[in-house]
Amino acid sequence: AKGKREHPRPRAIHGPNYHPPYADIVIDDKSNVVLHEVSADEPRHPASLTKIMTLYLLFEELEAGRLKLDAPLPVSTRASLQNPTKLGLKPNQTINVEDAIKGLVTKSANDAAVVVAEAMAGSEEEFAARMTAKARALGMAGTTYVNASGLPAEAQITTARDQALLGRAIQHRFPVYYQYFATPSFKYKGAEMRNHNNLLGNVKGVDGIKTGYTEASGYNLTSSVRREERHIVAVVLGGTSNGARDARMRQLIEEHIMRAATLRTAPLIAEATGMESDGASQDSAPVAARAVAPAPASASPAVAMGDSEASAASGKVEPVPVPRPRVQTAKLAAQTTKHAASSKAPPRTRLTAKASAPIALPSAYTLTSSQTRHIERRLTPSAP
């Protein structure tokens, strides 16, 4: 007789007559209140939303000074052979870090994603392991990465809730580098690459962040919207077309943006410390105070924090707990970690917007003024 499987087999999420299952979520960033959700904890393929985590790890390297924006990254044969969309990089050439970033956020270049992965970790496989470890540290219990690009892979899964968490975390941690997600177009070797995010410049307050598509995932989109000191992050997974996905996102934005809070009553997303690479429990893990930072004073108004947040940023605060997303463990255990498979996920906490005062924010990890000016000069379009 066959022995009992240690872990359940993951539920198939595509098949012969597959139609991508739909999921979405809208979260008020300042209060952490879920304003709307549909199947937000069901496993889905992220497609190129994967590149948000690729950029998260790249921004860490830049912030720590281990990489610079003008640093050349070598292109391997493997990177050059990635399926489209791509920049058309050739073996043995190089691409600088900033061009790789812009290629990822505009063209969603799969070859650039592999270049970044290999430069930072030696191999895409090792980089994907780091991506999954980072997901666990952020509280993304339903997400597993096996590549840096989001190209089709059965084991590469996520949830709408996890993607909303990541979409918020990358803004909280890297308020200046995040501005790259608002890049409308990018010229590389004479070719102009338009951003695939059609909501940029067409929907009031949208400042990013990323689209994605594979046949198995359907049309995916994470959006960040700021209006009148309100801030929401919304995710749509499994759209049937670009147009249908964008129309649904517009609808979600208009229905929920004015329900969002104007004062911050919830902590910024932070990483747990001491996380094991196989995904340790989030039950009582402390948070590194260095993991989040307010926007530098010279950051673009479209991306910088609201006045109430900025005024609180100078106060010293104690580390705050990691948010605990609700995950349907039975359906996600096989795709996450051995630890997650044998323990119950903690219940999701919903914070209300009734707190009497905005929370003070940590001030570590602010970029120097010269770093900030350098980035913003590169992000500001030249005068005609």
| Catalytic, out of 51, 86, 107, 210 | 51
| Contacts for 182 with CB less than 8 Å, ≥ 6 apart | 200, 207, 208, 302, 303, 379
- Spatial CA neighbour of 183 closest among 107, 79, 259: 107
- Spatial CA neighbour of 44 closest among 243, 281, 239: 239
134 is catalytic: no
48 is catalytic: yes
Amino acid, single-letter form, for residue 18: Y
Within a 13 Å sphere around the CA of 350, how many CA atoms are in the beta-carbon half? 7
| Catalytic, out of 31, 39, 80, 108 | 108
68 is catalytic: no
The residue to which tokens 């920049």 are assigned: 87
| Contacts for 15 with CB less than 8 Å, ≥ 6 apart | none
Cβ neighbours of 72 (radius 10 Å): 13
Residue 90 · residue 115 · CB < 8 Å: no
Residue 124 to residues 87, 152, 355: CA-CA distances in angstroms? 18, 14, 44
What's the N-to-C CA distance of the chain in angstroms?
75
Q: Where are the beta strands (DSSP E) in 120-160?
A: none
Amino acid, single-letter form, for residue 242: N
| Contacts for 233 with CB less than 8 Å, ≥ 6 apart | 26, 27, 29, 164, 167, 168, 222, 223, 224, 225
**Exposure of 82 by Cβ count < 10 A (0-12 exposed, 13-18 middle, 19+ buried)?**
buried
Residue 279 · residue 337 · CB < 8 Å: yes
Residue 137 · residue 276 · CB < 8 Å: no
| Catalytic, out of 48, 223, 224, 281 | 48
Total count of residues recorded for the chain: 384
- For 123: left if phi > 0, alpha if psi spans -120 to 50, otherwise beta; the answer is beta
Annotated active-site positions, please?
Answer: 48, 51, 108
